[in-house]
Structure 1
Amino acid sequence: MSERLPSLRVQTKYDKLVARDGVVICFFMRRSHGAVAHAVWRALQTYRRAIPPGALGWYPNHNGDWQPLDDKGWKHIREKMLERDWPVACGVLLEEHCDTTGGYNFEYEGRWLDSAFLYDRDATCAVSFTLPTEYLVEHGPARVRALALELASELPFNFGYASFALVAPDGQWYSARKTVRELRDRYPGLDIYKLAETSKHIGTQARGAYWLTFLGLPLLGRLGGPENLRRHLPFPDVSLETLPPLEGERVLITLGEWPEAIDTQQQERPSPQLLALGQLLERFLHEERSNWFLFLKQDPEDMHRWIHRFCP
């Protein structure tokens, strides 16, 4: 329920806001940039129509300097995503603000999977869209779910999810990692993500069990297909929906009306359906290979325990 979703603000010691509460909608695609770029562009336009006008206001240029996302800026982003023929990586970051962390952000990691400069055979393209919690509360979870479905319909995903999250584009919470670790440990339902790193090697695996979990092939087949999922998730609050036009090859699993934060200080526990889905996915969970998460706590097993936190 909405009253169980906390308001979170993470600041540096210099009072700069680097992370805040919200919802992240994320998809991983085991296809090259050239095969997904137009689909990602269409999804971006769907996202823009759903959020307030001008909510995406800035982007960094190739030198890292912030530029306004005006008509000229959108022309540049479109050309960067769609009109470069040579096989180079395409990273796009669009943010609400250039000097603080806002609730509306778009990230895209486009890779050419057959490039000689690609070092991991399990690399993917990936995209994320974020919303502030206020959007979820104002419009309701059904609207957010509908938006996630609309985005998914455009994308050839292998795995995707939507979750209550610590919104911090490009992992900007690093400078406040102690606070982030404390929030992570208090709220198991709080997703902490770094799209650029996870997408380097997630392949066709799952990142976890979430409020909204999108499954495509080959993972859906390894799980026994939609009918097997229905048998193992016989909960009244769980819905399983196949996605056209490839019905039977892509599904959305919804675990209840609202996402869960799971405040351990209030003795809250993960729902039975979340644990059941976690158990189903356990054999197929992706283990992070880079150290972006390890600095949260200097323990080699720390990340593994977090990734498997819903596996009973």
Structure 2
Amino acid sequence: MTRSHPYIRDGVSIAFYLRHSHHDITQRIEHILHVFQHAIAPASLDWYCDYEEDFQLALKLAADLPFASGHGGLAFNAELGLLEVDEWIQRERLRHPGMDVPDESASLHLGKHVRGAHWMNFLGPPVLTELRVDAEAQRRWERRFLD
């Protein structure tokens, strides 16, 4: 898909933004890491995307997290901050506008907002409350995808 670069990989990125302390969610994080480990085969982190399975995995990971928002989709994954890498990504994201560039600092300023529209979007209770989506509509939406 993209021209090769030794420090950049394209792949699937899934991010959840949580407004809780590390102490409060440690057990939940350990649980979803366990779910993730069992969902993928050993030594398969270089697998090709299977969008249906990736979507189902994202839903399983989200099920036990108290997230405010989250998203998933195709992304450039790299160690940002290196001039050569940043320049390459800026050039390539113009050629591939659907590709995300993960922003690890986003959780510091999102609050009850979302980072943007992505291939998969997760709206948690704080965001849904802000949007005035009632709990019953939320449960209907969840059942639609989890059943």
Aligned counterparts, 1:3-22, within 5 A: 7-8=1-2, 10-11=4-5, 17-22=6-11
Offset at residue 194 of structure 1 (A): 2.7
Matched with 1:242 is: 142
SS at match of 1:43: helix
Offset at residue 141 of structure 1 (A): 1.6
Matched with 1:302 is: none
Does structure 1 residue 210 correspond to structure 2 residue 118?
yes
Offset at residue 218 of structure 1 (A): 1.9
- Seq. identity, %: 31
TM-score (norm 1): 0.41
SS at match of 1:27: strand
Distance (whole Å) between structure 1 residues aligned to residue 133 and residue 115 of structure 2: 18
Does structure 1 residue 177 correspond to structure 2 residue 86?
yes
Does structure 1 residue 189 correspond to structure 2 residue 60?
no
Matched with 1:167 is: 77
| Contact 1:22 1:166 (8 Å CA) reproduced | yes
Equivalent of residue 135 in structure 1, options 25, 42, 48: 48
Q: Deviations over 1:220-244 (max 9, x none)?
A: 12223179x9xxxxxxxxxx8326x
**Runs of 4+ off more than 6 Å:** none
Does structure 1 residue 53 correspond to structure 2 residue 42?
yes
| Contact 1:159 1:214 (8 Å CA) reproduced | yes
Q: Deviations over 1:127-173 (max 9, x none)?
A: xxxxx5x431xxx32111110000001211110111111122x5366
Closer/same/farther in 2, CA of residues 188 and 39 from structure 1, 3 Å limit: same
RMSD: 2.6
Equivalent of residue 44 in structure 1, options 12, 33, 49: 33
Matched with 1:148 is: 58
SS at match of 2:58: helix
Distance (whole Å) between structure 2 residues aligned to residue 155 and residue 35 of structure 1: 11
Closer/same/farther in 2, CA of residues 152 and 184 from structure 1, 3 Å limit: same
SS at match of 2:141: strand
Matched with 1:289 is: none
Q: Deviations over 1:250-293 (max 9, x none)?
A: x97xxxxxxxxxxxxxxxxxxxxxxxxxxxxxxxxxxxxxxxxx
Could you say which structure has the larger radius of gyration? 1
| Contact 2:15 2:70 (8 Å CA) reproduced | yes
| Contact 2:80 2:86 (8 Å CA) reproduced | no
**Runs of 5+ consecutive residues of structure 2 not aligned to the other structure:** none
